[in-house]
Chains A and B, each alone.
Chain A
Amino acid sequence: MHRITKITGYVAIILVVLSFNFFLPRLMPGDPLSFLTGAPGMDMPIVLDEETRAKLLTYYGLDKPLSQQFYDYMLGILHGDLGWSIYHNAPVSDILIGALKWTLLLVGTSTALYMVLGILLGAISAWNRGGKSDVGLLVSLLSIGSFPPFFLGMLFIILFSVKLNLFPAFGAQTPFMGYSSLLEEASDILYHLFLPATTLVISHIGGVYLLMRNSMLNVIGEDYILTARAKGMAEWYIMRKHAMKNALLPITTMIALRTGFMIGGTILVETVFAYPGVGRLLFDAVTYRDYPLLQGAFLIITLVIIAANFVADMVYVQLDPRLRHD
């Protein structure tokens, strides 16, 4: 019963989000055709005559009534067809799949890193409340965390790519490079991943760190921590075994909710580093009013956020025996 309501909930959310994904882009001023023949801000926009315009609209199915377009779109999704990108002139699903692997790599590594680091540092900080390590961590993580990711990214590019020439400034791989081995390819990818991932980690670690620190501070005052200490357990052991598991309970939900922010940050960071992921694709799709691509990208993001919440639900039950139904 419980499971059924949950699944119904997810389905309802997906339906609502799908409708939003369809209608919101169409509320923006302009349409795909205004940008098809020239980039925005171009000196000499090419003016289409009425006949060509009408033909193009028919070609992309944009002349049909909105309700018909919506129906086609929903039907397409049910068949796994995400439509045809107007700007890229290719199937949306192909474009998305190509970009998705890079985004998953970038978001996956940085999420794993900022979560593990933020949780550990938050726990250590709370355990030494008021001590040197606590104040040091608090001040440094909060100050670096308050830089907006795009600014941090540009700073890194100027410093590490342009001035010091340590890391590449853009892309996910060195263009036109023939790899002689898998190892060489992997190291090139990691080399390109370093700056954008670091940017994301730094701009997100502060939030998780603070959450974990607060959560730990609450747990430290609990009676069962005293019980563990009365048994003679070592401080480090108490922190790890008794405190962290309890402190993680509220964090799991928060992390799932933060996935949305993470994606927002990714769009900016991918754009700054010209990283060929879904974020940059989305940025371009907005710029060129590429409705089908926008819908596709939004769909992916929605699914990722829902998946993150689903995982958080599962993890929560694993962490807290009180929520298990036998």
Chain B
Amino acid sequence: MTTLLEITSLKTWFPTRDGIVKAVNAVDLKIEEKEKLGLIGETGSGKSILGMSIIRLFHSSAKINIEGKIVYKGKDLLRLSEEEIRKIRGKEIAMILQNPATSLNPVLKVGDQIAEAIQLHQRLAKRAASEKAVEMLEAVKIPAPDKMANKYPHEFSGGMKERAMIAMALACDPSLIIADEPTKGLDVTIKMQVVKLLREVTKQRSMLFITHDLGVAAEVCDNIAVMYAGELVEYAKTEDIFKNPLHPYTQGFLNSLPERGLKPIRGMSPSLINLPDGCRFHPRCDYATGICKTRHPEMAEIGNGHFVRCLLYDRS
């Protein structure tokens, strides 16, 4: 397998009046071709920002420091100009944003919102792009796609909006899809349909699947990376994460699932401005010892592609 995207020591920091928000803090991550990688973590762990950093999806006037390397097909995306990265966005790497209810423009027809990207990247005439948009809606199984293309988002149901978002992401045939909580807020039956659809349409592509829904992640992903307070704390094959979670945070996360007893992790996730010294998780960890308060653990391979950032497994 060849590597499609390789992220090395990525830092995304937001300087604010109250201090620096270290949303993504030295993350290393690799996505192979056709790999489905899950990125899981609590709200505020920096996983969405990580996804957005890949294609620098921030407003031009936003104050952001992004450092590190994001190599996609041999090009470092962080070295590209705004003009160059725009040609990658939506064409090579597409993103499905969370909240389909607010992510579609309420005053534009859904078909036009899909067609504009096709027109831009594939240099098609308006008519041809509109026809392609209808095909995309059909591909995500929206009934009467030619009619629905002429409707506005408020005339779509929640599940259909999510499908429209997926159609939009697929429109220019990207190699990588970054899906940011695509199943959030959908009821269970719709959710499973969307998951099935996502699996179908990403058969020939890679996907970074950002979610805090572990059940969905298990359905979709080959590998899973667990994120906590801006850094990765565990990385393994999906099976290993569920059968043999190593990091106390991952264990706690799994135990908070309803089918495993609904036990929440005590405490709150830390503010990304004032990160705790040592291991970021130690104030909430049941196994924390004195050294956890001062020493910041590194990501280490425990065996067979299973990485963990925890002093419990530190052999040095």
A binds B: yes
Select A231's contact among B61, B90, B102, beta carbons within 8 Å. B90
Select B102's contact among A127, A224, A242, A319, beta carbons within 8 Å. A224
- Report how far A226 CA is from B48 CA in the complex, Å: 13
The answer to whether B57 and A322 have CB atoms under 8 Å apart is no
Q: Which residues of A contact B139 (CB under 8 A)?
A: none
The answer to whether A319 and B107 have CB atoms under 8 Å apart is yes
Q: Which residues of A contact B165 (CB under 8 A)?
A: 227
Known: A223-B102, A322-B152. A129 touches B61 (CB 8 A): yes
The answer to whether B103 and A128 have CB atoms under 8 Å apart is no
The answer to whether A230 and B57 have CB atoms under 8 Å apart is yes
- Report how far A319 CA is from B103 CA in the complex, Å: 18
Interface residues of B in 49-81 (CB under 8 A from A): 55, 57, 59-61
Beta-carbon nearest neighbor of A226 in chain B: B97
Most A CB atoms within 10 A — which of B99, B105, B108, B113?
B105
Separation in Å of the B154 CB from the closest CB of chain A?
5
Q: Which residues of B contact A220 (CB under 8 A)?
A: 59
- Report how far A223 CA is from B61 CA in the complex, Å: 16
Is A234 on the interface with B (CB-CB < 8 A)? yes
Q: Which residues of B contact A222 (CB under 8 A)?
A: 102
The answer to whether A227 and B97 have CB atoms under 8 Å apart is yes
- Report how far A273 CA is from B284 CA in the complex, Å: 75
Render B87-102 as a binary contact track against A, CB cut-off 8 A, 1 for contact: 1111100110111001
The answer to whether A224 and B121 have CB atoms under 8 Å apart is no
The answer to whether B89 and A229 have CB atoms under 8 Å apart is yes
- Report how far A234 CA is from B91 CA in the complex, Å: 13
The answer to whether A232 and B91 have CB atoms under 8 Å apart is yes
Separation in Å of the A243 CB from the closest CB of chain B?
9
Known: A131-B61, A321-B152. A232 touches B105 (CB 8 A): no
The answer to whether A242 and B105 have CB atoms under 8 Å apart is yes
Separation in Å of the B289 CB from the closest CB of chain A?
43
Is B246 on the interface with A (CB-CB < 8 A)? no
Interface residues of A in 290-326 (CB under 8 A from B): 319-322
The answer to whether A232 and B87 have CB atoms under 8 Å apart is yes
Select A230's contact among B55, B87, B108, beta carbons within 8 Å. B55
The answer to whether A230 and B105 have CB atoms under 8 Å apart is no
Interface residues of A in 218-245 (CB under 8 A from B): 220, 222-235, 241-242, 245
Select B168's contact among A129, A227, A319, A321, beta carbons within 8 Å. A227
The answer to whether B105 and A231 have CB atoms under 8 Å apart is no
Is B264 on the interface with A (CB-CB < 8 A)? no
Q: Which residues of B contact A321 (CB under 8 A)?
A: 106-107, 152, 154
Q: Which residues of A contact B310 (CB under 8 A)?
A: none
Interface residues of B in 1-58 (CB under 8 A from A): 55, 57
- Report how far A321 CA is from B107 CA in the complex, Å: 6
- Report how far A223 CA is from B104 CA in the complex, Å: 8
Is A175 on the interface with B (CB-CB < 8 A)? no
The answer to whether B120 and A232 have CB atoms under 8 Å apart is yes
The answer to whether B152 and A231 have CB atoms under 8 Å apart is no
Q: How large is the interface on A (under 10, 10 to 19, 20 to 34, 35 or more residues)?
A: 20 to 34
The answer to whether A226 and B103 have CB atoms under 8 Å apart is yes
Interface residues of B in 116-146 (CB under 8 A from A): 116-117, 120-121
Is A93 on the interface with B (CB-CB < 8 A)? no
The answer to whether A246 and B116 have CB atoms under 8 Å apart is no
The answer to whether A233 and B97 have CB atoms under 8 Å apart is no
The answer to whether A230 and B121 have CB atoms under 8 Å apart is no
Is B191 on the interface with A (CB-CB < 8 A)? no
Separation in Å of the A7 CB from the closest CB of chain B?
27
The answer to whether A232 and B106 have CB atoms under 8 Å apart is no
Q: Which residues of A contact B59 (CB under 8 A)?
A: 220, 225, 229
Q: Which residues of B contact A227 (CB under 8 A)?
A: 97, 103-105, 113, 165, 168
Interface residues of B in 247-302 (CB under 8 A from A): none
Q: Which residues of A contact B87 (CB under 8 A)?
A: 232
Q: Which residues of A contact B103 (CB under 8 A)?
A: 223-224, 226-227
- Report how far A319 CA is from B105 CA in the complex, Å: 12
Select B61's contact among A128, A241, A319, beta carbons within 8 Å. A128
Separation in Å of the A112 CB from the closest CB of chain B?
23
Is A80 on the interface with B (CB-CB < 8 A)? no
Q: Which residues of B contact A231 (CB under 8 A)?
A: 89-90, 94, 116-117, 120, 168
Is A130 on the interface with B (CB-CB < 8 A)? yes
Beta-carbon nearest neighbor of A129 in chain B: B61
Select B57's contact among A226, A246, A319, beta carbons within 8 Å. A226
24 A-B pairs with C-beta separation under 8 A: A128-B61, A223-B98, A223-B99, A223-B103, A224-B106, A225-B59, A227-B97, A229-B59, A230-B55, A230-B57, A231-B117, A232-B91, A232-B117, A232-B121, A233-B86, A233-B116, A233-B117, A234-B86, A241-B108, A320-B106, A320-B107, A321-B154, A322-B152, A322-B154
Q: Which 10 A-B pairs have the closest CB atoms?
A: A232-B90, A232-B89, A231-B90, A231-B117, A224-B105, A223-B102, A230-B95, A321-B152, A223-B103, A227-B103
Sample of 18 more A-B contacts, CB < 8 Å, known A230-B90, A242-B105: A222-B102, A223-B103, A227-B113, A227-B165, A227-B168, A229-B89, A230-B55, A230-B97, A231-B94, A231-B117, A231-B120, A232-B89, A232-B117, A242-B108, A246-B106, A320-B107, A322-B106, A322-B154
